[in-house]
């Protein structure tokens, strides 16, 4: 299984623990989608060190409390967690929840 899909599944499970009940989907290879709108993305860069060793840098970008007032230059359908849930979210708590889930799973 592709590492970006594994990371996306970990994020979705962490969101459920955080209390997000809405269905977030994965659009291969690296997008997180809600109702056909991009909610977030995952970028991964890997480096091979030896024939059996590598490292990965994982970048995760999520629209958490992004306001529709700032969207004049976005050229694709998008959404934010605050729009999905109709409430603001503490980004630090969400980050801690995601980091804990990633550390446990990886």
Residues 36-63 have pLDDT tens digits of: 999 999 999 999 988 889 999 999 999 9
State the CB neighbour count (10 A cutoff) for residue 71.
11
More confident residue, 53 or 71: 53
What is the model's pTM?
0.85
Complete domains list, the chain, with CATH: 3-105 (3.30.930.10)
Write the Ramachandran bin of 100: left for phi over 0, alpha for psi from -120 to 50, otherwise beta. Answer: alpha
Band (89; pLDDT cuts 50, 70, 90): very high
């Amino acid at each position: 299984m592709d590492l970006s899909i594994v990371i996306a599944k970990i994020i979705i499970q962490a969101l459920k623990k955080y209390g997000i009940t809405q269905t977030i989907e994965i659009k291969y290879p690296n997008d997180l989608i809600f109702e056909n709108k991009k909610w977030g993305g995952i970028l991964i860069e890997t480096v091979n060190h030896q024939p059996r060793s590598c490292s990965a840098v994982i970048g995760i970008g999520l629209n958490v409390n992004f306001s529709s007032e700032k969207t004049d230059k976005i050229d694709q359908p998008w959404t934010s967690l605050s729009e999905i849930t109709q409430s603001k979210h503490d980004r630090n708590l969400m980050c801690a929840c995601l980091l804990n889930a990633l550390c446990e799973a990886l």
